[in-house]
Amino acid sequence: MELKKREAKAWKPYLFFQAKLYPTLPYLSYKALQVKKKYPTPPAMSNELVLGESDQKILIIGESTVAGVGAQDPTETLAHHIHSFFEGKYEVQNYGKNGIRAKELLPYFRKNLKSIDGQVDGIFLYIGANDCFKLTSPTDYYKALKHVLEVLQEQFQANWIYLADIPPVEQFQAFPPILKSFLKEQRHFLKAQMEMLSRENELVIHEQISMDFDPSFFSDDLVHPSGKGYLEIAKFSYAGLQRAGVV
């Protein structure tokens, strides 16, 4: 009953959003294709990356941020920076896929996750930007993300799960104003689901992202982070653990 009430509450404003969105979808799709042609996506530098060797492990999993799209080499990736912040005390297992959504995460990385032996001390989860781009409904996103959190916790018995905020897609410099406007609203709906899940699960650490998204933050495609951008994300994420008192 509680879930049905939550779904109804989420759906009403989202229906108004969809009513505005759907008439413009052909034009928005055209503008999105223009962006892709003008700013080709850089290659990924850390789709699968294991750093260090230790009985103590940290898992980093998610979308293009984890895959290192926009970095020049593996040393500029999120995984490398996080491994450095922990001063090499942990083995970092990093699995990322550009374009992946929450509902696709576990099936895609099933073999990778199965190969990890024993407990994982902590998990960094970066997922949601593509659910924003691909207009996943709030209800579907909530269910998919909840399932991901439950499965990861059951398998690895982590002490904490850092659920990264969806980046402010409306600030991505490659996007024209009309795309930014709709993506900002879509992000708002999905962020509400993340915040709800973090309140429901005491192991989840989630906070609103706060950093300077100046031009140097972005790679050449003006969407994905540069090496500097990845360093800033890693700093903010690690500081989030410090603010939560888990490191």
The pLDDT assigned to 10 comes to 62
CA distance 44 to 98: 8
In sequence order, what E strands does 114-227 have?
122-126, 160-163, 204-205
| Residue 88: DSSP 8-state | T
**What residues of the chain score a pLDDT lower than 50?**
none
Side chain identity at residue 94, one-letter code: N
The pLDDT assigned to 118 comes to 87
Task: Give the helix, strand, coil percentages of the chain, each rounded to 5.
Answer: 55, 10, 35
The pLDDT assigned to 170 comes to 87
Q: What residues does each domain of the chain span?
A: 2-244
The 10 Å Cβ neighbour count of residue 70 is 28
If you count them, how many residues does the chain have?
A: 247
CATH topology of domain 2-244: Rossmann fold (3.40.50)
The pLDDT assigned to 64 comes to 97
The pLDDT assigned to 7 comes to 60
Side chain identity at residue 161, one-letter code: I
The pLDDT assigned to 22 comes to 87
pTM score: 0.93
